[in-house]
Amino acid sequence: MTFMFKLLSPLLFFTLSEDKPPLKKKIPRCRKNMNPNQTVEDESHPSITAASRRIQCLSLHLTPLPPSQPSPQLNMLTCAKAANKLEVDKVSLSTYMRGKNRDIQEKIIEFFESRPDLQTPVGVSMNEHRELCMRQLVALVREAKIKPFRYVVDDPAKYFAITEAIGSIDVSLGIKLGVQFSLWGGSVLNLGTEKHRDKYFDGIDNLDYPGCFAMTELHHGSNVQGLQTTATFDPVTDEFIIDTPNDGAIKWWIGNAAVHGKFATVFAKLILPTHDSKKVSDMGVHAFIVPIRDSNTLQTLPGIEIHDCGHKVGLNGVDNGALRFRSVRIPRDNLLNRFGDVSQDGKYTSSLPTINKRFAAMLGELVGGRVGLAYASVGFLKISVTIAVRYSLLRQQFGPPEQPEVSILDYQSQQHKLMPMLASSYAFHFATQYLVQKYSEMKKMHDEQLVADVHALSAGLKAYVTSYTAKSLSTCREACGGHGYAAVNRFGSLRNDHDIFQTFEGDNTVLMQQVAADLLKQYKDKFQGGTLSVTWNYLRESMNTYLSQPNPIIARWESADHLRDPKFQLDAFRYRTSRLLQSVAAWLRKHSKTLGTFGAWNRCLNHLLLLAESHTESVILAKFIEAVHNCPDARSRAALKLVCDLYALDHIWNDIGTYRNVDYVAPNKAKAIHKLTEYLCFQVRNIAGELVDGFDLPASVTRAPIAMQSEAYAQYTHHIGF
């Protein structure tokens, strides 16, 4: 009691120093928590001051209840749990979540569970990890008979389901698989023609042709058009000559290059000779197949220099290397010529008229990497949230006097950390499912507008989801206290392995700028009568509504039914996006007059990033609402609706200043949103165990002792030798 009084003494000091008139005939809020045997003096008595009333309230909080009397707060908590907890059918929920590719994922997990020799030990060295990853990949393809490459184009949803399962076994293995089949193999399929497919498909599929994707250079990563590696055509020998003109053009961070790669798709400027011997024609960046090692001896081929990029923060099972080319000659047929070709006499032909159009078409075909990273990042989030929630349900600390200790997930602070994150896991799951669906349609239809839509959607979701997951991994580690710091409980390796997801396949800040640029283009097209792509339809349908003055009556509605109405939630998200879009367009017009286009863009960059983030959140919520509506099981639908409401209202509350600044939400409504968000956190906590069970992650995937469903502490102590 003395300790608690010392904690509150500063509050008492400031309370006693207030000089305010007494409030009359107002029952103190603390009365509802009073001991029935205690009384409160009549507030109308002139001798009762504001300060004395506050001291009396504090004394009621500080006075312990008799040992025989149970805590009313604990009783209230127990009653609320019993009365309001939803019934969740975990089987129906997981069936809805896992979808049609559940069988192949289970086959993969069962295969690795049966092979202890292929499981990655904690603390494995870099060299051992690299060799283990290669053995794991070979075993998957040649022993388990699972061939991911054939699904890259024909069934992308199945391919991404395979990569999710593989990544749950070992993240480095998942990335190595992606380099082999999605990047190296995907470049051959998507940028090449039938002759390349015929020559290389089987070797890529059965791992006879392990390969690399050599795009990034020491001086250029995001700016692909600035690459300096050259591929100069020699009409005399009918060959391209690949050169690294300076150190800045060394290919850097190339997966599979340091140890296992035999081929590389090399991105280089295509240079053609002209009639004037002093001049050449730069046709822009193209892709070329370049052998880098002897297929039998694995010795580096002449003219090629390879060095190991060494130990990294994470993903040390992937052998990243650096490549330099010195006049390496390759046949003309090694040009991946879907979007541009060179004849034997050196003439260039293309169905696309400009360098920029060819470049855009090339990158559009490589967007699958971003789709895969967004999808995989959700897998990281599910695993980390599952570990943190299960541990928080297990761990008990403190409690009311003379009462048992309570689960740390009963603390509001822990709920505030983890429950919105759990809601986001579900939201991102449905959003990335939608992304995979749109990507699959794109691969079948080859519609130009759909390609542009998927390009922007994948950029936004990859950037948003990976950034959120990176922050959440640290939050989950912290939420599990000291035990979260143990390597065996996985937060460290998950965080380190995932960290680079924010950078490769497009730096997140750059990708968000692409989303903002596309939004501005759509905004311009809207006012010129153009056609908007599917994801941006709401700009056409409701822009005028969103940009009109907020309805003062609706701005004050605060009932739970109204706040939990999907229309209110989605309208709020879209209103914010529309306001940001309109305002940034105006600022860009203003600043471009004095700063030019580039200067104006840089001046408005933070505003542009907020716009892209807001739009991406709107897409995520729309897909979540749609998924709730489509869920066939009533109990699962009710649980998903609860989680969706928390996701929406938590985001609105976190940006409540924006809504208050434009009077979209009145003060009373803002307060109601905050209260309801806290209540929904508590409600989601009641079914948190069932919700993480809905992810259907077996123990061989979570692997953390503190996340075990039974005897977690026993398994933890056994791990260290007891």
Give the number of other CB atoms < 10 A from CB of residue 38: 11
What pLDDT score does 363 carry?
A: 83
What pLDDT score does 549 carry?
A: 64
What pLDDT score does 717 carry?
A: 84
What pLDDT score does 612 carry?
A: 97
Pick the CATH number of 95-206 from 1.20.120, 3.20.20, 1.10.3470, 1.10.540: 1.10.540
Distance, in Å, from the CA atom of 607 to the CA atom of 603, rounded to the nearest integer, reads: 9
Q: Which residues contribute to the annotated binding site?
A: 216, 255
3-state secondary structure of 309: coil
Q: What phi and psi values does residue 530 have, to the nearest 5 degrees? A: -80, 175
Alpha helices, H only, 351-411: 355-365, 368-394
Among residues 604, 586, 583, 577, which one has the least CA distance to residue 659? 577
Check if CATH label 2.40.110.10 holds for domain 211-343: yes
Among residues 336, 7, 375, which one has the least CA distance to residue 191? 336
Distance, in Å, from the CA atom of 120 to the CA atom of 105, rounded to the nearest integer, reads: 19
Distance, in Å, from the CA atom of 624 to the CA atom of 640, rounded to the nearest integer, reads: 9
* Catalytically annotated residue among 239, 365, 505, 690: 505
Q: Which residues contact 590 (CB under 8 A, 6 or more apart)?
A: 600
Strands 321-325 and 251-254: antiparallel
What pLDDT score does 238 carry?
A: 97
Planar angle of CA 168, 173, 179, nearest 5 degrees: 120
* Fold classification of 363-531+538-704 (topology level): Butyryl-CoA Dehydrogenase, subunit A; domain 3 (1.20.140)
Per-residue pLDDT reduced to its tens digit, 427-474:
999 999 999 999 999 988 878 888 889 999 999 999 999 999 999 999
Q: Model pTM?
A: 0.85
Per-residue pLDDT reduced to its tens digit, 146-195:
999 999 988 999 999 999 999 999 999 999 999 999 999 999 999 999 99
Domain spans of the chain, in order of start: 95-206, 211-343, 363-531+538-704
Here the tokens at position 606 are 């933070």
Here the tokens at position 63 are 């006075």
**Cα 396 vs. chain centroid, distance in angstroms?**
31
What pLDDT score does 536 carry?
A: 55
What pLDDT score does 263 carry?
A: 98
Q: Which residues contribute to the annotated binding site for FAD?
A: 216, 255
pLDDT < 70 positions in the chain: 1-84, 277-278, 526-550
In total, the chain counts a number of residues equal to 722
Distance, in Å, from the CA atom of 429 to the CA atom of 98, rounded to the nearest integer, reads: 10
Planar angle of CA 561, 564, 569, nearest 5 degrees: 130
Q: Cα dist. 567→42, 450, 534, 621, 626 in Å?
A: 47, 27, 19, 11, 12
217 is catalytic: no
